[in-house]
């Protein structure tokens, strides 16, 4: 029997669930042993439940093909099979909040890709290199939920993971105004070009709800824990425009920053290349060794060339 932690994927038949399964293949610490999805997929072999809907560019891992999909709503049954779960369920926000807390109350930690709990005051929204200290709020969340081990933690909106770390590296120069334009891949909408042929040779200049997330979520990353909740920072002021572009995977951002102090270009570059977080210091297996990569070429980064750098 493997001594790896047993992992469940909630919403494992969707695109994000498939991404979790793909990324966790051959992980040294974690093994996907349970996949849960809607009642429609429950009872089927994972390979049969997916059919022709496998959306990753890499093949489906052999180890998951024969896993029998469970009903995600059978919380106790699913939770009894695993050490913790990754959540990628496709439901309404209220339904996601309820089911993720239900899993947490079975003493199962929930690490969620969904947005539903990003503004729950005692739920940490974490980029590990940016705000690992926010995990301290979990003890207050456990008091609310009445759990000893179970909790919910979430990741932020995918587009801010490009520029929020850079701004974090520059915080000592006191950025106070940020204007960002994001060029977001169709994978962010859970699509491929096969699903969304209208995006071929097309640009959509507005993505509903995305600008608000991109402007406010970084402030929560930089917030502080006070009285058992996370209180967002008040600055910098961020203005975003979010554009959907005909790219399969990999978001890009063009960011203009004003600083109260006046760093040189060399100082800014030095802060980027030397920026490390807890995952790098701990040598975590899924973490990039060089968290922020500075590229000297004028025409880089490019999505086609750079999206899979250190596994993306």
Q: Which residues are catalytic?
A: 158, 251
The 3-state secondary structure of the chain reads CCCCEEEEEECCCCHHHHHHHHHCCCCCCEEEEEEEECCCCCCCEHHHHHCCCCCCCCCCCHHHHCCECEECCCHHHHHCCCCEEEECCCCCHHHHHHHHHHHHCCCCCEEECCCCCCCCCCCCECCCCCCHHHHHHHHHHHHHHCCCCCCEEECCCCCHHHHHHHHHHCHHHCEEEEEEEEEECHHHHCCCCCCCHHHCCCCECCCCCHHHHHHHHHHHHCCEEECCEEECCCCCEEEEEEEECCCCCCCEEEEEEEECCCCCHHHHHHHHHCCCCHHHHHCCCCCCCCCCCCCCCCCCCCHHHHCCHHHC
Q: Which of 242, 247, 246 is nearest to 307 (CA)?
A: 247
Non-local (6+) Cβ contacts of 55 within 8 A are 15, 18, 192, 195
Structure tokens at 144: 């609310």
Could you tell me if 131 and 222 are in contact, meaning their C-beta atoms sit under 8 angstroms apart?
A: yes
Q: For residues 162 and 148, what is the distance between their CA atoms, to the nearest angstrom?
A: 34
């Amino acid at each position: 029997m493997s001594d790896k932690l047993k992992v469940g994927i909630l919403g494992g038949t969707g695109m994000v669930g498939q991404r979790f399964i793909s990324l966790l293949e051959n992980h040294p610490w974690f093994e996907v042993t349970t996949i849960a999805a809607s009642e429609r997929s429950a009872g089927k072999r994972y390979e049969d439940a997916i059919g022709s809907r496998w959306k990753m560019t890499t093949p489906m891992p052999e180890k998951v093909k024969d896993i029998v999909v469970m009903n995600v709503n059978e919380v106790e049954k699913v939770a009894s099979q695993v050490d913790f779960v990754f959540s990628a369920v496709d439901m309404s926000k209220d339904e996601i909040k309820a089911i993720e807390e239900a899993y947490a109350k079975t003493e199962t930690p929930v690490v969620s890709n969904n947005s539903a709990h990003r503004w729950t005051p005692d739920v940490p929204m974490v980029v590990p290199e940016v705000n690992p200290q926010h995990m301290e709020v979990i003890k207050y969340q456990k008091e609310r939920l009445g759990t000893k081990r179970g909790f919910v933690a979430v990741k932020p909106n995918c587009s801010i993971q490009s520029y929020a770390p850079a701004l974090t590296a520059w915080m000592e120069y006191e950025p106070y105004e940020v204007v960002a334009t994001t060029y977001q891949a169709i994978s962010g909408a859970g699509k491929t070009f096969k699903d969304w042929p209208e995006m071929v040779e097309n640009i959509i200049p507005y993505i509903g709800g995305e600008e608000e997330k991109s402007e406010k979520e970084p402030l929560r990353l930089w917030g502080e824990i006070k009285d058992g909740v996370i209180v967002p920072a008040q600055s910098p002021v961020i203005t975003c425009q979010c554009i959907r572009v005909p790219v399969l995977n990999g978001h890009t951002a063009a960011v203009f920053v004003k600083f109260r102090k006046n760093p040189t270009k060399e100082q800014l570059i030095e802060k980027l290349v030397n920026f490390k977080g807890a995952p790098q210091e701990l040598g975590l297996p899924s973490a990039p060794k060089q968290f922020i990569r500075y590229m000297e070429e004028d025409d880089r980064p490019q999505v086609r060339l750079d999206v899979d750098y250190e596994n993306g």
